Amino acid sequence: MTTILLKNGRLIDPSQQLDRVTNVLLKDEIVASLDAQETYADLVIDVTGKIIAPGLIDMHVQLREPGWEEDETIASGAAAAIAGGFTSIACIPNTEPPLDSPASIEYVRHKAARADKCNVFVIACASSGRKGEQLSEIGTLVEAGAVGFSDASRAITNPELLRRALEYTQMFDKPVLNRPELIELTHNGVMHDGMVSLVLGLAPIPAAAEDVMAARDICLCETTGGRLHLMSVSSSGTVEILRRAKARGVRTTAEIHPCNFSLTDEALREFDPNCKVNPPLRSADHVAACIAGLKDGTIDVISSGHAPRASQKKMHEMTDAPFGMVSLETTLGLTATKLVQPGHLTWSQAIDKLSTTPARILGVPKGTLMVGADADVTIIDPDLPWTVDTSQFASRSSNCPFDGWKLIGKATNVIVGGVVKL
């Protein structure tokens, strides 16, 4: 039996509404005690002044393997997750071939097990081949281990397909994750539609493209009673639509990426292709609305939206460079610096959005430090200053506009299943 004593830390566990200084004892793969009196353990980690949190969970990660290994592999993505403080990630199915078969899910799970870093869950394709034409074999994919269904960065534009997906997944209590984007309004767009895009002469992506699709998706969710999770929310209109839906009791949740509460479209004045993301960096009023949505619970989850792209792919002009930004290793620091430090969120609220709520949405037995739960723990130093250095990233890619930024708050220890990974 292996024991780990986390000594004198501030335990914050939103699943149990706990926030107190105590000792936490881990035995083998489970949480054994939250108020341990033992002075002996195989490993004692003094976490005085640090936060003991349930292992962080990122429910929106692109791992790019199979098919795009020049961007990321399952092993390098899992290593980046550990470096960023995440004990579990869920990968979306925009691989080549897409994750739409039991064999492809087994492939990811096998590679993740070989990497032996963090837990890797699979979000399978909602439609066969991500073509948006035919519903995937939902039941078979659930049996293979899928925890949710999505066509990843490609919005499910066919309303009949989304309606059937929302109905069918209820049989398995699985969520459908959809990107709210009306592609007829975003075609060839590069950045947020506003004064900056007008000045720079770059093709715009209007916020209405997100708002219209979000409203449609929520309407179908309300009609069917299914479970809808809106990915990559970024506009004030969508936040308000979500707020009203939640007030009516619609079973919808939503996530935001750190870049969409940390940067505005002003960042594109430098013509840095690493700032080209979709949804785009919005104007300050949209960012303020999103932060308000995080504060009042309209936006449930903070996910990285990790989208690695090899350096050579980003070495193009803005119009030709692909969308995407790596963010597994900066999500916690940006959350602490941009949301907790200014007082927008408490640490308990932040951890809830980074761990407990993602676990609940995905239906995985994580996101808690209840006695008997899996010993997945993230130790956070909330006052640790550090500087983002993309050359030190564990990710295979470094397409990140935060290089050189000074952040406060970082994971210092990561334990997965009772094994110290960081």
Structure tokens at 94: 């925009």
Predicted confidence (pLDDT) at residue 38 exceeds the cutoff of 80: no
* Residue 249: how many other CB atoms lie within 10 Å: 8
Q: Cα–Cα distance between 176 and 151 in angstroms, integer?
A: 9
The pLDDT tens digits for 183-218 are 999 988 999 999 999 999 999 999 999 999 999 999
Q: Cα–Cα distance between 190 and 185 in angstroms, integer?
A: 12
Q: Cα–Cα distance between 377 and 1 in angstroms, integer?
A: 18
The pLDDT score that the predictor gives to residue 282 is 98
The conformation of residue 356, written as its DSSP 8-state character, comes to I
Structure tokens at 275: 């700032």
Q: Cα–Cα distance between 179 and 88 in angstroms, integer?
A: 22
CB proximity list for 410: less than 8 A, separation 6 or greater: 85, 332, 333, 336, 380, 381, 384, 386
Q: Cα–Cα distance between 108 and 325 in angstroms, integer?
A: 22
The pLDDT score that the predictor gives to residue 1 is 75
The pLDDT score that the predictor gives to residue 213 is 98
CB proximity list for 83: less than 8 A, separation 6 or greater: 328, 329, 393, 394, 422
Residue 351, by phi and psi: left (phi above 0), alpha (psi -120 to 50) or beta? Answer: alpha
User: What integer best gives the mean pLDDT of the chain?
Assistant: 97
* Residue 107: how many other CB atoms lie within 10 Å: 18
In angstroms, what CA-CA distances link 343 with 124, 259, 332, 335? 37, 18, 15, 11
The pLDDT tens digits for 4-27 are 999 999 999 999 999 999 999 999
Predicted confidence (pLDDT) at residue 393 exceeds the cutoff of 80: yes
pLDDT band at 260 (very low <50, low <70, confident <90, very high): very high
The pLDDT score that the predictor gives to residue 84 is 98
What share of the chain has pLDDT > 70, as a percent?
100
Q: How far apart are the first and last CA of the chain?
A: 21
The pLDDT tens digits for 110-142 are 999 999 999 999 999 999 999 999 999 999 999
**In this structure, are residues 309 and 399 in contact, taking their beta carbons and an 8 Å threshold?**
yes
**In this structure, are residues 108 and 120 in contact, taking their beta carbons and an 8 Å threshold?**
yes
| Residues belonging to the chain | 422
The pLDDT score that the predictor gives to residue 400 is 97
**In this structure, are residues 387 and 62 in contact, taking their beta carbons and an 8 Å threshold?**
no
With the CA atoms of 346, 349, 350 and 352 taken in that order, what torsion angle do they form, in degrees rounded to the nearest 10?
A: 160
Q: Which of 70-74, 186-190, 191-195, 252-256 has the lowest mean pLDDT?
A: 186-190
Compute the average pLDDT of residues 384-408: 98
Q: Cα–Cα distance between 53 and 87 in angstroms, integer?
A: 11
The pLDDT score that the predictor gives to residue 36 is 86
Angle between helices 236-247 and 208-224 (to 10 degrees): 20
Compute the average pLDDT of residues 73-91: 98
pLDDT band at 397 (very low <50, low <70, confident <90, very high): very high
